[in-house]
Amino acid sequence: MKGKKLVPYSLCLLLTASGLSACATGTGSDTAQTQAKSGGDAKPIKLTFWSGVPAEAGPQQAVDNWNKQNPNIQVEYVRYVNDDAGNIKLDTALLTGQGVDLYATHNFPRFETRVKANVALDLGQFKDYNIDDMMGPEAADWKVDGKFYAMPTKKDLHFVWLNKDALDKAGLPVPYNWTWDDMRAYAKKLAEQKQWGMLQDLVTWDFVLDSPIAVEGAVKSDGTSNMDNPLTRKILENMHAMMYDDKSIPLYAEQLSKKMPVETEFLKGNSGMYYAGEWIFRFANNLKDNPRDFKIAIAPIPKVTKDQQNYRVFGGLGDAISINPQSKNIEAAWKFLKWYADGGMLPLAQGGRIPSSKAVNADESFKELLKGVEDKYDVDSVKKVLFSKDFKTFQSKLPQQMIDARKEQYQLYFTNNQTLDQMFSNLVKRHNEFLKQNKK
């Protein structure tokens, strides 16, 4: 990937490239009700459910449980890799009628694009389930034009994983109210133990930079770009200094070119901290493949400064599941989706996917999360962060084109191919051009 320009994501562009004339429209025929009512020797309805979660991390068990309980509606699970190539594979399947009935989207910009391409059903037509009520106020982050085209099904949160033993050796307490300067100091101190002070999952880099503008937005009141926000600048300065001055985190180019398996490195004890999220539980709880002799604690994502206003942490709810309007079995898909959200997905909890529905007891979910590995965690810090009411969350609403453009620019900065001032100058110029081109 090094040196390559990242291609902006667009379903309709994909359509054009595929030789298709327009985005999908309309709704599929409703054969589900007809078959369900026929009873007797009717063939079972078959649904296909796509998601980015590995089958062995819980989805297959959930689907197997459903299939045992519902012989008349059988579900097949299909995993796609949640990267650019994997999402294009899903989009192609949706747009060319390859039998996708339900699918999960794992970030909002991609989801919004799918809604605009008419490949997500408006769930408002179903009156037997109130998503706002069952999932809570954070579900609203997944609305498009005030409507639900997907049901967010899990609690979603980024946080900092900590090697508790390394912290104890360094005389550092498990942090809670802390800043990016504090995190830099922690990383520098932990690096003295001949390990990385901190590692960061590349998927989180963009969300880190979205946080400072989560409330006021990427566009200023005068209609111009806000992507050169001073708090964003401070985060980038800190990360650059940690690479080149402190040498407490890997060089960006090195991590990218070597495709560093950062979760494995952390679980081997080769880093004191790891900036990621709840999905890492599926690796950390798998002691057969990732044996470790240290306890893990977790801490919230730090504020940029102590006095930061509108502090937000990426998260809220995730794994937003949509029904394909072209499905021939919409009623059956809706029945499965409700079951899955209201507890059917519990087998995914040990992999960090805690159900967001109020139909599922939080203590039951937490017990499932750490089942059999309780002694490998600082349980108090894990529970405190995962169920904290001390910070608000956000979902990124930045258009995918600008996420790609920003990544292109910060890659040049982190590889010392341009200064920070040049980076922001180029980025703001690109953003203002984008805003002008897409002015309503």
pLDDT band at 41 (very low <50, low <70, confident <90, very high): low
Give the pLDDT confidence of 193-222 residue by residue, as tens digits: 999 999 998 888 888 899 999 998 999 999
Element containing residue 323 per DSSP (H, E):
strand 312-323
d(CA 15, CA 249): 40
d(CA 25, CA 105): 19
Say yes or no: do domains 11-156+316-379 and 157-313+395-437 share a fold: yes
Superfamily of domain 157-313+395-437: Periplasmic binding protein-like II (3.40.190.10)
- Which is it for strands 312-323 and 392-394: parallel, antiparallel or unpaired? parallel
Angle (deg, nearest 10), helices 400-414 and 420-437 = 170
Query: Does the pLDDT at position 30 exceed 60?
Result: no
Q: What was the pLDDT predicted at 370? A: 96
Helices (runs of H) and strands (runs of E) counted in the chain: 18, 11
Domain 11-156+316-379 belongs to what architecture? 3-Layer(aba) Sandwich (3.40)
300 in helix, strand or coil?
Answer: strand
**Residue 319 one-letter amino acid:** D
- Dump strand ranges (E) for 271-413: 273-277, 296-300, 312-323, 392-394
- Sequence spans of domains, the chain: 11-156+316-379, 157-313+395-437
d(CA 341, CA 358): 10
Query: Does the pLDDT at position 106 exceed 50?
Result: yes
Query: Does the pLDDT at position 6 exceed 50?
Result: no
Query: Does the pLDDT at position 20 exceed 50?
Result: no
- Which is it for strands 143-144 and 147-148: parallel, antiparallel or unpaired? antiparallel
Query: Does the pLDDT at position 13 exceed 60?
Result: no
Give the pLDDT confidence of 317-347 residue by residue, as tens digits: 999 999 999 999 999 999 999 999 999 999 9
- Which is it for strands 73-79 and 45-51: parallel, antiparallel or unpaired? parallel
